[in-house]
């Protein structure tokens, strides 16, 4: 008698485990898809814009070099390398975002992809800062050595404005990724 009760209990537990596993492996619901896809589309536009800005900026630096006499080529090369690396990073994230298809993913897969996306973004920020500091220091030192006072003032103003815009964009991207993650977390629970 006890053996049959144990078998029945075991079968019931197996059924419950299968049910829980199938719920966790279920595709993302329509509401979550809509919330995640709208955040995804806003992020794609954001990264498209950042990629295009990073690709155009080296040409602006060349125009600055032509207007300032004695501006060294190696500083322009440093700017070029920095912005091409950043364009590659932003383009990579844009490509990853475009490949996400929440309609075909399970909740777990979508959540993992979102966490990876957030990791790529944070890594890019750290890498970008480590590249930007030497470039900016060299640029400001060169302007100082060339006695270009107004260009130096412009560089500092541009640095402050760029920091402000960068923090705003970073906060917006962080908010969109967080919205995607929360929508998926709600679906998983």
Domain boundaries, given as residue ranges, for the chain: 53-188
Distance of CA 186 to CAs 43, 62, 146, 172, Å?
Answer: 20, 49, 58, 21
Look at the pTM and tell me if it is higher than 0.75: no
User: Sorting pLDDT into bands at 50, 70 and 90, what band is 161?
Assistant: very high
Q: Say if CB 30 and CB 188 are below 8 A apart.
A: no
Q: 57-107: per-residue pLDDT in tens?
A: 888 888 877 777 777 888 888 889 999 999 999 999 999 888 887 777 777
Distance CA 40, CA 151 (A): 39
Q: Which residues contact 181 (CB under 8 A, 6 or more apart)?
A: 111, 114, 115, 118
Assign 1 a pLDDT band (cuts: 50, 70, 90): low
Asked whether the predicted pLDDT for residue 26 surpasses 60, the reply is: no
């Amino acid at each position: 008698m006890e053996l049959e009760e144990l078998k029945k209990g075991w079968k019931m537990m197996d059924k419950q485990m299968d049910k829980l596993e199938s719920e966790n492996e279920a595709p993302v619901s329509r509401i979550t898809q809509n919330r995640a896809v709208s955040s995804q589309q806003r992020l794609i536009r954001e990264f498209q814009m950042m990629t295009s800005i990073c690709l155009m900026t080296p040409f602006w630096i060349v125009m600055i070099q032509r207007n300032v006499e004695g501006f060294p080529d190696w500083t322009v090369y440093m700017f070029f390398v920095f912005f091409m690396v950043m364009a590659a990073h932003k383009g990579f994230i844009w490509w990853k975002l475009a490949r996400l298809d929440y309609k075909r993913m399970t909740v777990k897969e979508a959540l993992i992809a979102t966490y990876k996306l957030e990791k790529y973004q944070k890594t890019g920020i750290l890498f970008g800062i480590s590249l930007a500091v030497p470039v900016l220091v060299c640029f400001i030192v060169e302007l100082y050595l060339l006695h270009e006072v107004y260009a130096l003032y412009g560089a500092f103003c541009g640095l402050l404005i760029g920091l402000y815009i960068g923090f705003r964009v970073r906060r917006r991207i962080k908010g969109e990724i967080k919205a995607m993650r929360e929508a998926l977390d709600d679906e998983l629970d």
